[in-house]
């Protein structure tokens, strides 16, 4: 059975952290390690993580030496990974119980080094567990196949569903950017020639704003997307403009779900 290294950054997430961690520990594929980097939380998140670690040896929390944001926290966790696959989950989201098992089978069948899945959106105040989740109509559908060119126009991969094959791609870190590090990682993998494949079944749950709302946080990502296209991908102004238009359209479209 392949070992899956699950990467989770944490910052002041005590209210949702428990459900996120339990959604990993209750996976039907049990051969995994949960690598958590606490980014200098002040709300007791690390105390909660220590309790989980005492109960389950697969929970491996560490505190970041200094506050550096989600991208650096993820990289610190990736640096400790021992797994054949690297997967990602944020501390306010959840995986459904069969997510890892089904995604591993999908990756093996399609010989795909980078995979992702569809996912549900839940209300920001949802306080249940992944094992209690009742499917709803708020589904962000995964595209079956995505290459670098398509990915430049729109980020099709929900980070909470992404998983890459470390044996095929090596250990891939996120670029040191304030935001959009996950998008930059997918682009760098695809730029090197590996396409991504999406599993249609929703296997994760994303904590979101109310349907129909476009948060100020989403709008603020415009400047980070622009910097990604121009400084990281070195796109011309016309190509970066087209890519940014696609990113804005995606945010508008997904906000309606």
- Percent of the chain whose pLDDT exceeds 90: 76
- Say which residue, 253 or 22, is predicted with more confidence: 22
Summarize pLDDT for 170-224 with one digit per residue, the tens: 999 998 787 889 999 999 999 999 999 999 999 999 998 655 444 445 566 788 8
What pLDDT shows up at residue 213?
41
Tell me: do 175 and 245 sit in the same domain.
Answer: no
Tell me: do 128 and 156 sit in the same domain.
Answer: yes
Q: Does residue 89 have a pLDDT over 60?
A: yes
Distance, in Å, from the CA atom of 185 to the CA atom of 247, rounded to the nearest integer, reads 16
Tell me: do 203 and 221 sit in the same domain.
Answer: no
Range of the domain at 229: 217-256
Tell me: do 132 and 234 sit in the same domain.
Answer: no
Tell me: do 236 and 135 sit in the same domain.
Answer: no
From 227, 254, 221, select the one nearest 240 (Cα to Cα). 227
From 89, 47, 229, select the one nearest 153 (Cα to Cα). 229
What pLDDT shows up at residue 212?
46
- Say which residue, 255 or 156, is predicted with more confidence: 156
Tell me: do 22 and 72 sit in the same domain.
Answer: yes
Tell me: do 114 and 183 sit in the same domain.
Answer: yes
- Percent of the chain whose pLDDT exceeds 70: 95
Section 217-243 average pLDDT? 84
Q: Does residue 113 have a pLDDT over 90?
A: yes
Tell me: do 55 and 82 sit in the same domain.
Answer: yes
Tell me: do 54 and 162 sit in the same domain.
Answer: yes
Phi, psi dihedral angles at 255 (to 5 degrees): -65, -20
What pLDDT shows up at residue 216?
47
Tell me: do 151 and 231 sit in the same domain.
Answer: no
Using 50, 70 and 90 to split pLDDT, how confident is the model at 236? very high
Q: Which of 210, 230, 245 corresponds to the end of one domain?
A: 210
User: Model's pTM, two decimal places?
Assistant: 0.92
Domain count, the chain: 2
From 226, 217, 88, 206, select the one nearest 152 (Cα to Cα). 226
What pLDDT shows up at residue 220?
65
Tell me: do 192 and 227 sit in the same domain.
Answer: no
Structure tokens at 140: 């962000």
What pLDDT shows up at residue 61?
98
Summarize pLDDT for 29-59 with one digit per residue, the tens: 999 999 999 999 999 999 999 999 999 999 9
CATH number at residue 32: 3.90.550.10
Summarize pLDDT for 140-154 with one digit per residue, the tens: 999 999 999 999 888
Q: Specify whether the CB–CB gap between 69 and 178 falls below 8 A.
A: yes
Average pLDDT of the chain, as a whole number: 92
In SS3 terms, the chain reads as CCCEEEEEEECCCHHHHHHHHHHHHCCCCCCEEEEEEECCCCCCHHHHHHHHHHHCCCEEEEECCCCCHHHHHHHHHHHCCCCCEEEECCCCCEECCCHHHHHHHHHHHHCCCEEEEEEEEEECCCCCCHHHCCCCCCEECCCCEECHHHHHHCCCCCHHHCEEEHHHHCCCCCCCCCCCHHHHHHHHHHHCCCCEEEEEEEEEEEEECCCCCCCHHHHHHHHHHHHHHHHHCCCCHHHHHHHHHHHHHHHHHHHCC
Distance, in Å, from the CA atom of 52 to the CA atom of 77, rounded to the nearest integer, reads 17
């Amino acid at each position: 059975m392949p070992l899956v290294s699950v990467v989770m950054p944490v910052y002041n997430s005590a209210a949702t952290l428990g459900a996120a961690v339990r959604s990993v520990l209750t996976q039907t594929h049990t051969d995994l390690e949960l690598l958590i980097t606490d980014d200098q939380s002040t709300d007791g998140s690390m105390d909660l993580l220590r309790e989980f670690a005492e109960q389950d040896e697969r929970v491996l929390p560490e505190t970041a030496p200094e506050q550096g944001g989600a991208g650096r926290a993820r990289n610190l966790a990736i640096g400790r990974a021992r797994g054949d696959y690297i997967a990602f989950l944020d501390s306010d989201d959840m995986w459904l119980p069969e997510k890892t098992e089904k995604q591993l089978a999908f990756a093996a069948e399609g010989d795909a080094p980078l995979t992702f899945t569809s996912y549900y959106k839940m209300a920001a105040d949802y306080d249940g567990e992944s094992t209690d989740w009742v499917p709803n109509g708020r589904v962000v559908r995964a595209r079956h196949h995505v290459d670098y060119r398509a990915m430049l126009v729109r980020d099709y991969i929900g980070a909470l569903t992404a998983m890459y094959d470390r044996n095929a791609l090596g250990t891939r870190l996120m670029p040191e950017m304030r935001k959009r590090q996950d998008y930059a990682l997918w682009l760098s993998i695809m730029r090197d020639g590996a396409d991504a494949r999406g599993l249609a079944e929703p296997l994760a749950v994303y904590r979101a704003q109310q349907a129909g709302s476009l948060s100020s946080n989403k709008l603020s990502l415009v400047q980070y997307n622009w910097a990604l296209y121009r400084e990281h991908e070195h796109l011309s102004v016309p190509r970066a403009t087209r890519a940014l238009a696609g990113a804005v359209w995606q945010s508008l479209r997904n906000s309606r779900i």
